[in-house]
Amino acid sequence: MGVYALYVALQPRYRAQNWLLLIASYGFYGYWDVRFLLLLLVSTGVDYIAGLRIDRATGERSRNIWLALSLTVNLSVLGFFKYFNFFIDSFASLIENFGWSANVPSLSIILPVGISFYTFQTLSYTLDIYRRDLKPVSSFLDFALFVSFFPQLVAGPIERAATLLPQITTPRTLSSSQINAGLYLILWGYFKKLVIADNVADVVDEVFEDYLELGGLDLWIGAVAFAVQIYGDFSGYSDIARGIAKLLGFDLIVNFKLPYFARNPSDFWARWHISLSTWFRDYVYIPLGGSRQGEWATYRNLMITMTVCGLWHGAAWNFVLWGVFHGLLLVGYHAIQMHGPHRFKELDLRFNGAWGLASIFIMLGLTTIGWIFFRASSVAQITYMLTHLGTTISDETLELISDLLFFSLPLFLMQIYQAMTQDLLVVTKLNPWARIPLYGLMLAWIVLFSDRDSAEFIYFQF
Amino acid sequence: MLSSVTQTINNAFKHLPQEAIKPIKRKEVWINVLGATVVLMLCNGFADLFLNYLNSNRGYFLVSLKWKLLQEQTQPVDWLVVGDSSCNQGVIPETLMQQLNGNALNLCTVGSMLTLDDVWMLQQHIHHVGPPRQVVIIHVYDIWHRELEEETLAHLAQIPLSDDEISAFEPALELDGGKQVQLFLHRSLPLYAAHRSLEEWIREPIESFRESREFIVTKRGFMPRSETNLALFQRDVRNHLKFVSRNAFKLSDINQRSLMHLRTLADQHQFDVYFAAAPLYEGLYEDRAFRRYFRQMQRSLADFAATSDRLHVILNRPITFEPEDMQNVDHLKAPAAEVYTRRLAEAIAQHQSLNRPKP
């Protein structure tokens, strides 16, 4: 609050505001672990210099060298902290399968908070400069703030330099409209996280911990509950981050656009974690060739992109399998579009009433199955749950459904309203006699239902 | 109409939604913020009213009720019984009155309030109607080592006195900033403090109503209980045994300060204080580690009692019961409370006759 008051008092001196934000951002990150502030600084320094060098380089070789340096440093840091033990352990398991013994070192490595996010953010900077889509920023302060901007530092949205840097390097307005929207996003974000996600987590934990004792329908309930939990948790954080940014006069990318109303896999990735999906599209899928090199190349590129996307989420095989699953969905959808009945493509384009709703439910079902890969703690659990999904019930079923429905209903109703009005901020436009009591009730529910031992945001672990 | 509904659905899910920011004046932002705050406060006020009549949190109910019972007294009590929930449902004042002379009042609350609540109640009694004639303090063995926790603050916040009145009590609460905020929230924001009870009322209203109706307390402060959960009983035993095997007895700072002020009050106002052990499951007392811990506790209390003629420790061995008589290892069902109260009264009477000054 003190920082914000000072920030407002400095208006319109944006340079002074940038200094304040940078200090606050480093203080915020250093609070998690001051050692990892050094990593952030290294990443910032390397990419700042690489960006300038790439732009000023006269020859292609020099440009490539500086880009390679940026990629190597950033991906090495990310690879070491996030994937070292995973690859070592996987390699050891592999050679043990051939009957050889493996004495491999395992290090006690702490994953720096937000490393996956800020690494991708800084990489997009150097890659855009390399592609000549962007000019480098001359001020180190401005670049450092771009990398470390605290609202989105630890769990996104992953911003592009082309959208965030201009906001840093020019004066910002703190309009009442932005502040109003920002406050609403913070409120709705906390509601999704503290009321919906954290309470539904109890259903998820119960199912995923005792899955061997439960019925097929319970497994479905657990999977749906996790779909609600991860959406509430992650989109809640994104909304809070975007809301805080709006209070500071910044506009961050909308990261979620009602993903569970997606009609097909392509549509899902246009609505879910948009900043990440567009990053993978622009820096992995398209450079691999995208869909320009024929059908089979398209499928290959989709599979590679989604597998890497899965791996980005975590250093464990279940995340890789989740990525592969979504890759197969995209491949399957493309294949049906190319070779399926003409009627199918026509229906999909027209979104005709019943077919449209059916396609949403089918996609929701497939996404829910995918979440089993994501949440399960082992491949054995994934296999068991996938093969035992069904309609059998247990003594717990009624209670699980009741808990899930109780906390999911507000989310479902809000999302329907947002979909019908095509406006994610529709609540801010309600009549004050409806809007203000709604805000008050949301606050009351947050106080009432928030878990005092609230779990941290799920995506912080990435 | 059907086609327009279909059209709306088609448009809703075919296109991606956007964020359209509505132009708004600063005044409207303030109206939103203040209006939402007012609604929140109204919800809080409603919750407060509601819980005054239908509180399903037994601990909060007990604290509030026992302090109100104290406030209703118009003359000093002859036998004031204070302590935790084990004596709340273990000591029947009417039985005590039959065995000993005078009237009796059971103001026992919950263990999380430690001995702080005991000595504060004494001060309020003295302030309100003068000193009691005798005081009996009964606690389960495992409250003595406990310090102030959030649960303590949550229960202390239920005391129906003003902040000024509470801040006059000794020992004073020495709270850091965080704990002061917690206490403030517990006292002023029942939406926050009693959120579990309110949550249960919203999600399971019938069950909550049934539970709130079970809070029966006699006009002298005894709460008869009768239900048992055998699985919980066994788990309770294991937890207690684990605790005593890993810990030596120690007196926490807050309990020590409370006892010292209790001694000051007893010396100043010339009333006797009897420390008695809470009723106990016999199986627990058969355990060697438990007996060792119990003896350490008794020695510590005896050492303290030796510093004043007004302080007495009775029941060198706890009064033990079989599982059928108990709700858990240290809480009695109503019929066994009759037995415990009689034996407690006998022990007090015996102690009094042994220590009566010789003519």
- Tell me what pLDDT residue A290 has: 92
Closest CA–CA distance from residue A282 to any residue of chain B (Å): 20
Closest CA–CA distance from residue B144 to any residue of chain A (Å): 27
Interface contact B21, partner A, CB < 8 A: yes
- A444 to B43: CB separation less than 8 angstroms, yes or no: yes
- Tell me what pLDDT residue A90 has: 76
Residues 6+ apart with CB under 8 A from A337: A344, A345, A348
Query: Which residue of chain A has the CA closest to B7?
Result: A353
In this prediction, residue B128 has a pLDDT band, given cuts at 50, 70 and 90, of very high
Instruction: Compute the C-alpha angle B207/B208/B211, nearest 5°.
Output: 90
Answer whether A368's CB lies under 8 Å from A231's CB: no
Residue that is written with structure tokens 């579990």 in the block? B196
Interface contact B217, partner A, CB < 8 A: no
Query: Which residue of chain B has the CA closest to A430?
Result: B22
AA letter at A323: G
Residue that is written with structure tokens 């302090």 in the block? B67
- Percent of chain A beyond pLDDT 70? 93
- Tell me what pLDDT residue A453 has: 60
Determine which helix (DSSP H) or strand (DSSP E) holds B327, and give its type and residue range: strand B326-328
ipTM of the complex: 0.86
Answer whether B269's CB lies under 8 Å from B126's CB: yes
Task: Break chain A down into helix, strand, coil percent, rounded to 5.
Answer: 75, 0, 25
Strands B79-83 and B134-139, by their bridges, are parallel
- B13 to A425: CB separation less than 8 angstroms, yes or no: no
Does the structure show a pLDDT above 60 at A184? yes
**Highest mean pLDDT, choosing among A213-227, B8-22, B138-152:** A213-227
- A356 to B21: CB separation less than 8 angstroms, yes or no: no
Can you give the pTM of this predicted structure?
Answer: 0.83
Does the structure show a pLDDT above 60 at A347? no
Closest CA–CA distance from residue B241 to any residue of chain A (Å): 28
Residues 6+ apart with CB under 8 A from A360: A260, A261, A262, A263, B13
Query: Token pair for residue B302?
Result: 């005896």
Least-confidence region, from A220-229, B224-233, B305-314: B224-233
Average pLDDT score over residue span A315-342: 89
Instruction: Compute the C-alpha angle A449/A451/A452, nearest 5°.
Output: 120
In this prediction, residue A436 has a pLDDT band, given cuts at 50, 70 and 90, of very high
Would you state the torsion angle of the CA atoms of residues B28, B30, B32, B36, taken in this order, to the nearest 10 degrees?
Answer: -160
Mean pLDDT (chain B) is 90
Burial of B123 per CB tally in 10 Å (0-12, 13-18, 19+): middle
Query: Computed over its alpha carbons, how large is the radius of gyration of chain B?
Result: 25
- B11 to A357: CB separation less than 8 angstroms, yes or no: no
- B17 to A353: CB separation less than 8 angstroms, yes or no: no
Average pLDDT score over residue span B133-146: 94
Does the structure show a pLDDT above 70 at B2? no
- Tell me what pLDDT residue A246 has: 96
- B6 to A360: CB separation less than 8 angstroms, yes or no: no
Residue that is written with structure tokens 């009351």 in the block? A444
Residue A260: DSSP 8-state: G
Closest CA–CA distance from residue B170 to any residue of chain A (Å): 31
Instruction: Give Cα separations from A420 to A257, A417, B224 (angstroms).
Output: 13, 5, 57
Set of chain B residues whose Cβ sits within 8 Å of the Cβ of A270 = 16
Least-confidence region, from A61-75, A132-146, B166-180: B166-180
Query: Token pair for residue B324?
Result: 């059928």
Interface contact B39, partner A, CB < 8 A: yes
Strands B311-313 and B280-281, by their bridges, are unpaired
**Rounded CA separation B134/B139 (Å):** 17
Q: Which of residues 169-208 of B touch A (CB under 8 A)?
A: 189, 191-192, 195, 198-199, 202-203
Set of chain B residues whose Cβ sits within 8 Å of the Cβ of A183 = 29, 32-33
Answer whether A153's CB lies under 8 Å from A114's CB: yes
Set of chain B residues whose Cβ sits within 8 Å of the Cβ of A428 = 21-22, 24
User: pLDDT digit string (tens) for B280-323?
Assistant: 999 999 999 999 999 999 999 999 999 999 999 998 889 999 98
- Tell me what pLDDT residue B5 has: 67
Mean pLDDT (chain A) is 90
- B192 to A263: CB separation less than 8 angstroms, yes or no: no
Does the structure show a pLDDT above 80 at A374? yes
A313 part of the active site: yes
Determine which helix (DSSP H) or strand (DSSP E) holds B313, and give its type and residue range: strand B311-313
Query: What angle separates helix A317-339 from helix A295-313, to the nearest 10 degrees?
Result: 150
